[in-house]
Amino acid sequence: MAIHPTAIVDPRAQLGADVELGPYAVIEGAVKLGARVQVHAHGMVRGDTEIGADSKVYSFACIGGDPQDLKYRGEPTRLVVGERNSFREFTTVNRGTASGGAITRIGNDNLFMANTHVAHDCTVGDHCVFANSVAIAGHVTIQDRVVLGGLAAVHQQGRIGRCAMVGGGGMAAQDVPPFTIAQGDRARLVGLNVVGLRRAGFSREVMSALKNAYRELFQAGMPLRIAAEQVRAFYNDVPEVIELVDFLETSQRGICRSVGAPDAADE
């Protein structure tokens, strides 16, 4: 374990094997750091926060800060972070609130670039990339392998589906379905995330089915409810298409519409 003499470590903290703390790093509260976690110079981890093995907290990042919620009154809440996450400079990740389940959760193998923000009560999956200055509001769900381009933002209670991408500067005020790309203010769908699907190892057959389902759901001009029923019936043997339809049918905020879609798609 390499701890710089200027680092400040709360006696309640639990440090795993070979943890490294740089100059003026601050570990405040009942923090748990897994094996080989690195907190660089001036990095801070605080509160009831657990960070999994091989994660890195870079300079001036604050992980586990109080939620930015007017209802928060200092009650005990948590942040749980998985393994091999990287929080670059000035990133902030807040703990949960009592009204939101009291916990913020982050999975494994995520990259949070400089100046990103994860608000209270959020859930982030695995293998996600948050580009510079991305901000997600409270109670947001980010599923696995999502890419959020620089300066993108997600409205509170929003969901971004698996293998989806929000382009740089995109403002996602509604849910972004899995496997798609959304961009703009307010974000609208522009097609499938073909590059992301290839990188995730999707077969040609599955990608073809998703393309056909996308056209029927978002570009054919049918009411979304009817289109979803037809797509579910026709592609009931393609789990990825069923995942897409399930996401649409469980949306609480509504779904981003496709660029250039006929008006009937909004019914």
The predicted structure's pLDDT at residue 248: 97
pLDDT at 266 over 90: no
Phi-psi region of 252 (alpha: psi -120 to 50; beta: other; left: phi over 0): alpha
The verdict on domain 2-139 having CATH code 3.40.50.2000 is no
Domain borders along the chain are 2-139, 198-266
Which are the catalytic amino acids? 120-121, 138
Q: What is the pLDDT averaged over residues 135-154?
A: 98
What is the rounded end-to-end Cα distance, in angstroms, of the chain?
Answer: 60
The predicted structure's pLDDT at residue 100: 84
Helix or strand or coil: residue 44?
A: strand
pLDDT tens-place string over residues 57-104? 999 999 999 999 999 999 999 999 999 999 999 999 999 999 888 999
Token reading at 106: 């982050």
Distance of alpha carbon 32 from alpha carbon 178, whole angstroms? 33
Q: What is the pLDDT averaged over residues 250-261?
A: 90
pLDDT at 260 over 80: no
CATH of 198-266, one of 3.40.50.300, 3.40.50.1820, 1.20.1180.10, 1.25.40.10: 1.20.1180.10
Nearest to 2 by CA among 12, 86, 13, 17: 17
- Model-level pTM? 0.95
Q: What is the pLDDT averaged over residues 117-140?
A: 98
- Quickly state the pLDDT bin for 262 (edges 50, 70, 90): low
Domain 2-139 shares a fold with domain 198-266: no
The predicted structure's pLDDT at residue 265: 44
Q: Would you say 176 and 182 are in contact if contact means Cβ atoms under 8 Å apart?
A: yes
pLDDT tens-place string over residues 216-228? 999 998 999 999 9
Q: What is the pLDDT averaged over residues 22-37?
A: 98
Q: What is the pLDDT averaged over residues 157-182?
A: 98
